[in-house]
């Protein structure tokens, strides 16, 4: 019985040390996220290149839909990746709000993709406006962080 208590205490202590190592400051958090966001932001820019022109021509809507679908895939993967990084406790509420906006943006990208596949360009345009608006809200929520690559820039989405 005594050995079990000692083992349990050792495991608990190890877990506490591991958790303590993962407590990040805001600057450390930003430094950890930016290298994750940069290559994905650049991939988004490449995937979405020319989508604005594609949406204007009915024959190119399927191409535009594919680009939005790829953008949604990259964006969703980015959210998943950065969501695994421990958040600074002092900024937990702001970051929770930020992730709400990011998840909404992913949903909008998926909805835009579906609307374009169905040939509904007006609905896709309305959703695009909401996507951009949520991106601006996400930026406002984390303005103090000074994100560059992890901030929303609509130019990366071919608009």
Length of the chain: 159
- Mapped onto helix, strand or coil, the DSSP state of residue 159 is coil
Is residue 149 within 8 A of residue 37, CB to CB? The reply is yes
For residue 83, give both structure tokens: 């969501």
For residue 143, give both structure tokens: 């303005």
Which DSSP state fits 148?
A: S
146: left (phi over 0), alpha (psi -120 to 50) or beta: left
Asked which of 68-82, 88-102, 124-138, 145-159 is least confident by mean pLDDT, the reply is 145-159
- CA-based nearest residue to 25, from 145, 156, 120, 138: 145
Residue recorded with tokens 């930016």: 34
pLDDT on residue 23: 87
Q: What is the pLDDT of residues 37-93, one digit of tens each?
A: 999 999 999 999 999 999 999 999 999 999 999 999 999 999 999 999 999 999 999
Helix axes 26-48, 61-83, angle to 10 degrees: 160
Cα separations (Å) of 13 from 16, 25, 90, 116, 147?
A: 5, 22, 24, 54, 34
């Amino acid at each position: 019985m005594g050995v079990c208590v000692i083992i349990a205490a050792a495991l608990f202590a190890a877990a506490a040390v591991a958790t303590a190592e993962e407590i990040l400051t805001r600057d450390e958090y930003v430094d950890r996220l930016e290298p994750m966001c940069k290559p994905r932001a650049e991939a988004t820019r490449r995937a979405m290149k020319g989508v604005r022109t594609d949406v204007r021509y009915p024959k190119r809507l399927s191409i535009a839909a594919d680009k939005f679908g790829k953008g949604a895939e990259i964006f969703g993967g980015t959210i998943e990746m950065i969501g695994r990084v421990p958040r600074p406790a002092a900024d937990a509420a702001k970051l929770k709000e930020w992730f709400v906006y990011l998840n909404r943006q992913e949903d909008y990208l998926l909805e835009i993709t579906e609307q374009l596949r169905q040939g509904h360009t007006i609905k896709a345009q309305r959703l695009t406006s909401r996507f951009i608006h949520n991106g601006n809200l996400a930026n406002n929520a984390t303005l103090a962080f000074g994100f560059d690559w992890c901030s929303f820039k609509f130019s990366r989405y071919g608009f």
